Every structure is written in C-alpha cells, then in structure tokens.
Copies of this chain bind each other. A is one copy, B any other.
Amino acid sequence: MAKKQKVQRPKAQTPKGFRDYFGAEVAQRTEMLRVIAGVYHRYGFEALESAAVETVEALGKFLPDVDRPNEGVFAWQEEDDKGDGDWLALRYDLTAPLARVFAQHRNDLPTPYRRFAMGPVWRNEKPGPGRFRQFYQCDADTVGSGSVAADAEICAMLADTLEAVGIERGDYVIRMNNRKILNGVLEVMGLSDEGQKANVLRTIDKFDKVGESGVRELLGKGRLDASGAYIDGVGLSDEQAEPVIAFLTSKADDIAGTLANLSAAIGDSAIGAEGVAELQTMADLLAAGGYGADRIAVDPSVVRGLGYYTGPVFEAELTFEIKDEKGRPRSFGSVAGGGRYDDLVKRFTGQEVPATGVSIGVDRLLAALHMKGRLDAKTTGPVVVTVMDRDRMADYQGIVSDLRNAGIRAEVYLGNPKNFGNQLKYADQRDSPIAIIQGGDELAAETLQIKDLILGAKIAETATHEEWKDRPSQFEIPRADLVARIKQLLDEQSQ
C-alpha cells in the first residue's frame, strides 16, 4: 500500500478584516434597521435594494486604467472569450449605486425620488483593530429636489430616527453647515490654487482637535504636534488666514448670532451669502417643525471630508461622555452625516440632478446604545428540555411543541443524552432560564421537574439559600400545567 500523503486542510478563518456576528449582535442590528426603516418610510421614503456588485465604470473613481483596478474596492474582471470582460466590483457605499439606479430608471421613478437603502458595503483597505472591510450603512436620500427644504427634512428625520432607536433628546445634536460658506471664505481669501484650497479645508477639519491657535499655526508656517513631529503649514499670511479664523470662531450663543458672524466672515462673497441664506432657511424650517436649539446647531467646523458635497452638510453627534482608551472623558462623537451633492447623477446622463442625503453608521450607533446600557449584551436563551430516556424523544418533543405553540422559545437537547451533566452544561452555555426534566418516576406520576436556572445561578453566586428559601430552584409540577407554570416562572424571572 502506498504511503499516505499528509492531508492539507484549509484554515478555518475569516479573511483578514472580516468578522462573524452572532446571536444578539445580529438580532439587535436587524431590529435597529427595522426601526430606522419605519421612520424613513413614515417620511415617504421608499426602500431600494441594489446588488452588492456594480461595474467599476458605474462606481466611478476606480477606472480600469491599470492592470487591476482595485484601489479601494474589491474588483475582478468578468471572463469572456477575448479577455476583455467588464471589470466588476463590490460597492464601497450606497450613494454611487443610487446615482446609477436613478440614471438607469429615471423614467419610471417619481421625481423627487425619496429612497432609503440599508446593507453592507466593502472597502479594500488595510484592516486594523476595529477597522473592518465590510460594514453596514443605512442611507436616505432625496434625488431631484434642489430645495433646502429637502435638506431640512433629512435633518429632522435624522433627529426622529435617533430618538426612535433609543438615543434620548439631550444626548445628541444635529450640527449643520454649508459648503458655499466655506467657498465664500476661500473666495475672500483670494485663494485660487486647488491644492492650497484642499489644504485649508483639511486644516478646518482639525479645528475640533487643535483649536484656534493650532489652526492659526497650521494655516501659517506649521506646527509641532503632540508626538513631537513638525507638521508643515499651508503657508498663508496672518491676514490671509483671518477669514478662516473668523469663520471657525463664529459660533455664538444662538443660531441667529452664529449666522450674523458667518455673514461677516464671508464679506461680500455672493456664493458665501447664498450659503448663509440656505443655512438660515434650514434653521427656520426646522424651528417651525419644533426642532429647536436643543437638537439643531449651526457649527462651522462641520466640513465632511468627501469632495462631492456642494451645499448643506450635516452631522449627528452623540454628546454624552465616554472614556477614551486612556480613561479621559470625551463625547461619543459622530454617528451619521451627509449633505447635498448635485453632480453625481450628471456623470451618467449629462444632466444636473440635485440630491441630498444622509448615511447612518449603524455599527457605531449600536455601540453607543450598548454604552448607554440600552441594549443587553446577553439575551435569554430558550427553555431546554433534557432527555432522560432516548427512546422517549417523542414525549420530549411534545413538551417542546406545547411551549413553542404558546410562543415560548424552547428546544430539546439533541446531543448525546448519556451524560446528564453535559445537558445542564449545555443549558448553561445557551443562557437558558429553565431546564425541564422528566424521568421514569415523573412519567409515571404525570409530572415534570422544573429547574429555575436563573435562581440557581444566583444561589450559587451568594453560596447561601437563605434569602431564596421561599422560592425553590427546583420543583415538580403536573405535566398538564406545563405552559401556565413556565409562563409564570418566566414572568417572575424577568421582574
């Protein structure tokens, strides 16, 4: 007989940057998406689900001009006879597919088109701790309306959504800004070089972190950062930098004051004035709808990284304090953001189609709810019916059926029943609240043994039975009383 080759076994591992989600994690996300979809739907938005796969051409940015165009996306080439099949890729957000969908189906869709979409997106990036290459987004966009009433509506909906999923009023604020004001600021600065403009925008984005003096340094000669490294500045004179500083420090006690300061910062720039007027209209519309200063703020430091925003931009920030990795308090930060982008559909059709929308980071929002104690990390498992006699499986299934038919989550132990201790260990691992036992004696007496596993765990913890003596952790009930008694016990346990 030939010598056996050593078997090469595949590694049981998720690819780098991907992960599995179990039980409560999945259920809680599903429930959150259901609640968000409910709010979006009430606002008149319609669900859209496009495929995970798009042509690289439709996604844009990532054109097949190199051998393998997978910069930032997961891409591959379709097989065809001539070797020049289409390049396909996994979507990297839900906005690029929306632009493609609207361009493709525009004759059949109502205009304006309000749509929401929820699902995973993929990024071909170096994975790191807590950075995953597949994550959920949850978007709502209005395509085909140039009115800032559309932007205001989305801000109002965002506030309603946060409250619907369990973030209390006072624990969040919707911060609004307008890109046109920024453009006005750049205009009065007399900047024309695009690179320099981009550097100024990046610097503005750092205002929250480095403050006014830091921004002054970064706009000028540069700055020594906390790690001791020297960061090159944009190279502006103090005078040139002044409009940016005026802009960034324009936040006043109320929205009216902030808007007045912003008006001053943009001088006589027409585009800047337009931005201020839009912000004013949004604030007015929101105030009329009851969304006041406790929920809505104008905040000049909101820039939003993406280059495609053209008007209003907004962000939902959770304001409650958490501890950072070094134990220092900081606010939880942004969980959603968006704004107006008027050029995305034009790529396909040549026609300008105004659009605005928001994207909620579902995973961050779930993390926030966990920190606020609004979501349990552990959920209660099923009632476990143990198997004392493997020939009587039909009886045990019958017990389980009665419970399930009454809406109670229940299961029979399906492993090897020989070792009874293993059955109780299994019930423990399942976070089961109750185990049910029926041996020969109970069968003859038409009864069941009920083990209260929650109480049992409490007794084991305190190592004394004293305080629980009126409530036994194991007791016998008539088989006929099964459903009523289990319901009663589950009620008691949840109190």
Contacts and interface: CB of A to CB of B under 8 A. Distances in A.
Given A12-B349, A18-B53, A349-B12, A401 B289 contact: yes
Interface string A414-446: 110000000000100110000000000000000
A28 B430 CA distance: 32
Contacts of A145: 414-415
A15 B51 contact: yes
A21 B34 contact: no
A221 to B, nearest CB: 37
B88 A74 contact: yes
A285 interface: yes
Q: How often does this chain occur in the complex, in copies?
A: 2
Contacts of A110: 426, 429-430
Interface residues of A, number: 101
B414 A350 contact: no
Interface string A33-58: 01001000111101111111111011
A449 interface: no
Nearest to A46: B23
Contacts of A153: 397, 412, 414
Given A347-B9, A349-B12, A414-B147, A51 B134 contact: yes
Nearest to A356: B414
Interface in A87-110: 88, 90, 100-101, 103-105, 110
A407 B43 CA distance: 10
Contacts of A49: 20-21, 25-26
Contact of A415 (B7, B111, B348): B111
A3 interface: no
Contact of A409 (B34, B44, B68): B44
Nearest to A290: B401
A241 B114 CA distance: 63
A53 B284 contact: no
A244 interface: no
Contact of A397 (B47, B54, B289, B381): B289
Contacts of A152: 397
B10 A398 contact: no
A411 B43 contact: yes
A44 B415 CA distance: 14
A46 B30 contact: no
B149 A414 contact: yes
A120 B52 contact: yes
Interface in A343-358: 347-350
Given A76-B75, A397-B153, A55 B429 contact: no
Contacts of A490: none
A14 B288 contact: no
Contacts of A144: 415
A431 B349 CA distance: 27
3 A-B pairs with the lowest CB-CB distances in the bound complex, closest first: A44-B411, A12-B103, A26-B47
Given A11-B57, A21-B50, A30-B47, 6 more contacts: A12-B103, A14-B54, A18-B53, A20-B101, A285-B393, A290-B401
22 contacts: A10-B55, A10-B60, A11-B57, A11-B58, A12-B104, A12-B349, A15-B53, A16-B86, A20-B104, A21-B50, A22-B47, A27-B37, A27-B47, A41-B409, A53-B134, A70-B76, A76-B76, A142-B414, A147-B393, A149-B397, A150-B414, A289-B401
Interface of A: 7, 9-16, 18-23, 25-27, 30, 34, 37, 41-44, 46-55, 57-58, 60, 68, 70, 74-76, 78-79, 86, 88, 90, 100-101, 103-105, 110-112, 114, 120, 122, 133-134, 142, 144-145, 147, 149-150, 152-153, 156, 160, 284-285, 288-290, 347-350, 381-382, 384, 393-395, 397-398, 401, 404, 407-412, 414-415, 426, 429-430
